[in-house]
Structure 1
Amino acid sequence: MSGLLQSLRETLGEDARPTAIQASSMRHLFKEPIEGEKYKEFLLASETGSGKSIAYLLPVLQDLKRAEREQSKPVARHSSLKPLNPRALVLAPTHELTRQLASFAKRLSHVIKLRVMCASRANTPSTAKSSGTASKMKGKFEQTRAPNDAEFVISKSSRMSRPVDLLVGTPMKLLEMERGKGWNWEERARERAMKIGKGKTEEHDDVGEDDGGNKEPAREFWIDEPEMGLQNVEWVVVDEADILFDPDFQQSTLMLLADIAAARGQPVPVISSSDISSTLDSELTHASAQPISYPFNFVLTSATIPTSLSTYLSNYHPSLTRLASPRLHHLPQTLRTEHTSWTGGNKGADIERRIRRVWAEDALVHAKSATGPGPVKLSKVLVFCNKRSKVEQLAAFLDGRGIKCVALTGGADSRKRGSNHHLDGFLKTDGTAPSGPGASDPAQTPHVLVTTSLLSRGLDFSPTIKHVFIVDEPRNMIDFLHRAGRAGRAGEEGKVVVFGRAKGRGSGRAAEVKQRVRALVG
């Protein structure tokens, strides 16, 4: 559509050309629907930074607008008493990613006038049940919500507003919206009790079930009124499918998909995680698994296809079309890799020296190319650790050395604001870069982001992030691909620096990692 083309030109420029996965998507997903044709099922698989969000957003937005204009498909309006009745859903693993995707979708759809919303809101502790009516308790709960322009808040006055066209959220947040807040409080209380009983800690902070980061003790509370209907959903996109179909997210993703199918009048069996595990381990997978056909267009995207995801799709979605780019499971060609050794016991000092070396190189380039006075533009650096405690310790060390950092883990207070402002200066945006006194001074303005795998999935970081440091040995190459792929995106140059031991205990593992990384570069 001309409106989408205009938005693309405004976003990418006049000379943009599609990547391999975008070209494949346009050839297949833009085909006009044929009368009686079943819904589409596609997997879009391509390396990080190849523009998969454009690859699925363009066909989804165009189909939504065409259906609205031509009425070629029935577009039900306010078909339920619930305030929201979206026509398309995009699922993503973290609130940070949902906000960025929703913002990008708004930029693409502002000319064709589709309504895009993000189901991310500021977190508030669960309110204990007390005396008084449910409506009074609900009113007290809503009063605790801090206002924020990025929050998703449903008020009584908005219940008759026109329905949402595209809604972006995490599976758990969307389940909460369509089943009612508190629908799973008993299960969560049991899980928390089991963790406490086993003395389980949450040291590792890979991308896990992102329910908003509420770490308050579980307390009994009412089940709120659902605020979203699913009858109108005709598109479901599962972004970062390798994560949303792994054990941490699998159950909530499958429950939501089953709820949509049931709401649209074609129920499907709810597959449990144990069923999937037994099917994956069985030699007779195809005989035991019953294929699922969802009554909506189903699109998955991923930068990797692990064996578990491939087997699941073969068993339960055998007719799904897989579109993969030639460089799947490879690093971007613009991303260089470098391996460096620890020099001694103080790893923080080694990391600091490497950061300052990056900035020294920036200063040298500036001195050679500068045409007049002005501050040196220092690169932003993204540092990945495996544990939350390591993130906090390293950030504290660097802060003490005059390098201001943002330290982000799953339980960080800064994530509870309902927006991505805690990542200002690091994420790619359509606005101007931060400016003013101290903006170029790493002692005043954060130039280093220290995090776990929480931010390794899907997020589009600013081109000013040209260096990714991996300071803990990756647990697998899929994890490495996602972390390293935060730089060198969309044709930008970048470098990933992998720290390890050159000799002594652990050096064998470091040599193995180096060999496996080399295979990803080819």
Structure 2
Amino acid sequence: MALARPTRLLASLAARLLLGPRRSLAVHAPDEALLPVVRIPRSFQRRHERREGRHRRSPQRPVLTRPGPLLVSARRPELNQPARLTLGRWECAPLASRGWRHRRARRDHFSIERAQQQAPALQTPSSDSSFSDLGLEPRVLRALLETAPQVVRPTTVQSSTIPTLLGGRHVLCAAETGSGKTLSYLLPLFQRLMGQPRLDGGPRIPSPRGLVLVPSRELAQQVRSVAQPLGRSLGLQVQELEGGQGMRRVTLQLSSQPSADVLVATPGALGKALRKQLLSLERLTFLVLDEADTLLDDSFLELVEYILEKSHIAGDPSDLADPFNPKAQLVLVGATFPEGVGQLLNKVARPHSLTTITSSRLHCIMPHVRQTFLRLKGTDKVTELLEILKRRDRVDRTGTPGALLVFCNSSSTVNWLGYILEDHKIQHLRLQGQMPALRRAGIFQDFQKGSRDVLLCTDIASRGLDSTRVQLVINYDFPLTLQDYIHRAGRVGRVGSEVPGTVISFVTHPWDVNLVQKIELAARRRRSLPGLPSSVSEPVPVPVDSVPPRKTAT
């Protein structure tokens, strides 16, 4: 006990020396022994005074958010942005994801809220507009009413595209996902074929008059399922040509309907049929490149150029008038467009014959879909996904939560996640490009019909597929490009969907953070996503004595 008291006194003395104001001290211990003078560095004292001053101040007042809807809601309220506020182009934006490259940002999150309930594609200039006002014949209108009675009024894209195609012009239609682009070209296609006589003679191999080129077998099945009832009602035959099972399968498909009027095909199968001379494009009068941004990338470009060389593309609308010398009208459709579209079109058509139809929402964040971003460690993503699925199951007991898409960047991740969901007794389907063709066939159609409500997939399911059942999209792996993000998010909030839907994205890597910051900044400024390489907004190069291409904005 004799040593305890001096020890406590020395500890107290040390604290007073370090934390007290600067002065020379001489303190006598109980035994009256004189201690040396300790001088405190002035920089240390100032730092301590500033720290103490912050603690002595009254606590900061909470940030008060103005009442009203929000455009961006963050975990930290001071980073919220009201819906009525729009940042200028050069105005500094307080990004909620600014510090997400640091590990301390894990579990942080923010959301881009819904600015409206209705899809922009349904906001036509006139609410009284109808398909009969677009120049469609009564027979086509009756066929549309019989096969798709739920389609009452045309969307904004359809109101601009259908009259232009009926006028005989080549069209490049660039509009947001889920805006009704398929009917935009199918209805003029059928009306054009009905007005042409069937020519006798010519090639003895199948020679379709209409061709729809799509990048995937799933999209080919979907377009065929929409076109076949319409064609049957009009007395026209629609056939599907898809690859993945060798030349024997291609030959059987062509021999089943040798006199088909419209062919829906993938580039691989069609290229094989043309090289083996199992098919001819001499009578082609209507050529559509659906999801043209994918068809014109490096993986398909060589095949597409070969198919275009075999097609007789009309130079201008006057070339389409001769039924005995068929020329094809060209249509390119997509939600995003790469560079080089103009150069490719210059090889097959005259520049002044092209009409570019663009949507005001092209390359923009969808305003009617809530999009949430979660900053997570890679090891936490499985736990977060399972928690979302469990919450969804709890909702399922009280109501119908709708279908769910989980996107991954690789086929191996899809398979690995599938094994985990099986261990947790969660029923699901898987769709990825490395599946054998026989196993892959019909998976997305089963999902559309409701056999399962959870689909694990790669980007093969993000292009053009109808997903009106889907109410939630989860980016388990954040997409590698902004184009992929647009297409994945476009699986919800489509025309015909009962609810706008939600997108949840897991953000893990530094390169993910870079894309998220671009998305957040574009949302706060209400501008299109930056850095998307597109030549849609640029006119196609034309000779000096030519007429510049016409543009229509929807």
TM range (shorter): 0.5 to 0.7
The answer to whether 1:17 aligns with 2:49 is no
Partner of 1:184: none
Partner of 2:501: 494
SS at match of 1:110: helix
Partner of 1:421: 442
Q: Distance in 2 between matches of 1:309 and 1:327?
A: 20
Q: Choose the corresponding residue for 2:203, options 80, 84, 91.
A: 80
Cα separation, partners in 2 of 1:334 and 1:10, compared to 1, 3 Å: farther
SS at match of 1:232: coil
Q: Choose the corresponding residue for 1:309, options 324, 341, 345.
A: 341
The answer to whether 1:300 aligns with 2:332 is yes
SS at match of 1:86: coil
Partner of 2:264: 168
Aligned-pair CA distance for 1:177: 1.1
Cα separation, partners in 2 of 1:305 and 1:514, compared to 1, 3 Å: closer
Aligned-pair CA distance for 1:62: 0.4
Once the two structures are superposed, residues 472-493 of structure 1 have per-residue CA deviations (whole angstroms, 9 ceiling, x without a partner) of 2222211110111111110522
Could you say which structure has the larger radius of gyration? 2
CA contact (8 A) 2:473 2:502 kept: yes
Q: Choose the corresponding residue for 1:387, options 389, 410, 417.
A: 410
Q: Distance in 1 between matches of 2:189 and 2:162?
A: 11
CA contact (8 A) 2:401 2:471 kept: no
CA contact (8 A) 2:296 2:338 kept: no
Aligned-pair CA distance for 1:165: 0.8
SS at match of 2:505: strand
CA contact (8 A) 2:164 2:171 kept: no
Partner of 1:456: 462
Cα separation, partners in 2 of 1:260 and 1:316, compared to 1, 3 Å: closer
Equivalences for 1:189-268 in 2 at 5 Å? 226-261=277-312
Partner of 2:141: 5
Q: Distance in 2 between matches of 1:457 and 1:240?
A: 7
Q: Choose the corresponding residue for 1:53, options 182, 189, 203.
A: 182
Aligned-pair CA distance for 1:426: 2.2
Code of the residue aligned with 1:7 in structure 2: it is A
Partner of 1:371: none
Structure 2 unaligned segments of length 5 or more: list them.
1-136, 316-325, 528-554
Code of the residue aligned with 1:112 in structure 2: it is L
The answer to whether 1:473 aligns with 2:478 is yes
CA contact (8 A) 1:473 1:510 kept: no
Code of the residue aligned with 2:438 in structure 1: it is K
Aligned-pair CA distance for 1:104: 0.6
Q: Distance in 2 between matches of 1:87 and 1:19?
A: 27
CA contact (8 A) 1:406 1:449 kept: yes
* Amino-acid identity (%): 30
SS at match of 2:362: coil
The answer to whether 1:43 aligns with 2:66 is no
SS at match of 1:298: strand
Cα separation, partners in 2 of 1:490 and 1:400, compared to 1, 3 Å: same
SS at match of 1:395: helix
Q: Distance in 1 between matches of 2:145 and 2:480?
A: 40
Partner of 1:397: 420
SS at match of 2:195: helix
Code of the residue aligned with 1:27 in structure 2: it is P
CA contact (8 A) 1:340 1:499 kept: yes
Q: Distance in 2 between matches of 1:510 and 1:122?
A: 34
SS at match of 1:468: strand
Cα separation, partners in 2 of 1:331 and 1:507, compared to 1, 3 Å: closer
CA contact (8 A) 1:334 1:491 kept: no
CA contact (8 A) 2:481 2:515 kept: no
Q: Which has the higher contact order (CA 8 A, sep 6+)?
A: 1
Structure 1 unaligned segments of length 5 or more: list them.
34-39, 69-74, 127-141, 181-225, 266-293, 367-376, 428-432, 435-444
SS at match of 1:340: strand
SS at match of 1:467: strand
Q: Distance in 2 between matches of 1:153 and 1:425?
A: 22
Q: Distance in 1 between matches of 2:515 and 2:391?
A: 22
Q: How many residues align?
A: 378
Q: Distance in 2 between matches of 1:121 and 1:151?
A: 10
Partner of 2:228: 106
Once the two structures are superposed, residues 160-194 of structure 1 have per-residue CA deviations (whole angstroms, 9 ceiling, x without a partner) of x76221001011211111221xxxxxxxxxxxxxx
Aligned-pair CA distance for 1:102: 1.1
Q: Distance in 2 between matches of 1:85 and 1:486?
A: 35
The CA RMSD measured in Å over matched residues stands at 3.1
Q: Choose the corresponding residue for 2:238, options 113, 116, 121.
A: 116
CA contact (8 A) 1:78 1:163 kept: no
TM-score (normalised: structure 1) = 0.66
